[in-house]
Amino acid sequence: ATTAAVPGNQTTATVPGSQTTVTVPANQTTATVPGNQTAATVSGNQTTATVPGSQTTVTVSGNQTTATVPGSQTTVTVSGNQTTATVPGSQTTVTVPGNQTTVTVPGSQTTATVPGNQTTATVPGNQTTVTVPGNPCNPNPCGTGSTCEARFDESFVCLCLPGDFYSNDSNSCERCKYLFVCCYELFTLFNSDIMKIIQQYIILRGMEED
């Protein structure tokens, strides 16, 4: 058929073949559209959406629990609030926006963009351009012996073992020589007001010793 439309509230919707245009909207529990369609669109609130094949354009939008779009599509778009989104293959352009818990985009994409608030974002392969924002500790900006810890405002802090402090001069953890130095460095990380108090205390103690 040139055009195949399967709307409704089917529990299972299967549209195989060589249709030019395939549209499977609705609230199917399982939607499967394999074949060699020129355009394949599977929208709705499916629990499982699977669109394999060699489609020129593939769009899988909605609130699927699982969205899988493998193959060699020229353009692949997987938007929505999927719990798991997997887009492997050799796509020229791959875009996976949304709030996925787990996003995996392996392959040899020319451009791979994975924005959003993903808990886990994995984009291995030979991409020319890879954009995965949201983690200031990747790559690790801290120096030798330090552990990077991300903050809520997309900033970070370099942590050291007890008895050490992080030196911005050497970009590494160094052993504390004096207790007040460690306290000074520690409070510098968390509260600028406390830092000012410590500075004033050090100045006053220096004046008393003189």
Half-sphere exposure of 59 (CA within 13 A, CB side): 13
Work out the end-to-end distance of the chain between its first and last CA atoms, rounded to an integer number of angstroms. 96
- Omega before 34 cis (within 30°)? no
pTM: 0.47
With DSSP H G I counted as helix, E B as strand and the rest as coil, what are the percentages for the chain, rounded to 5? Answer: 15, 30, 55
Query: Which of 33, 79, 41 is CA-nearest to residue 57?
Result: 41
- Paired with 31 in beta bridges are 13, 49
Instruction: Please tell me the predicted confidence (pLDDT) of residue 44.
Output: 67
CB environment 64-87: b (16+ within 10 A), e (fewer): beebbbbbebeebbbbbebeebbb
pLDDT mean for each 10 residues of the chain (210 residues)? 66 70 70 74 72 72 70 70 70 68 69 64 66 67 84 78 83 74 51 58 63
Q: Can you say whether the dihedral through the CA atoms of 168, 170, 171, 172 is positive or negative?
A: negative
Q: Is 46 buried (19+), middle (13-18) or exposed (0-12) by CB count in 10 A?
A: buried
Task: Give every CB contact of residue 146 below 8 A, 6+ residues apart in sequence.
Answer: 158, 159, 160, 166, 172, 173
Question: What is residue 198's predicted lDDT score, i.e. its pLDDT?
Answer: 61
Residues in a beta bridge with 93: 75, 111
What's the pLDDT at 156? 83
Cα–Cα distance, 86 to 176 (Å, whole number): 48
Query: What pLDDT is stored for residue 120 in this prediction?
Result: 62
Q: Tell me, what's the pLDDT at 187?
A: 47
Amino acid letter for position 207: M
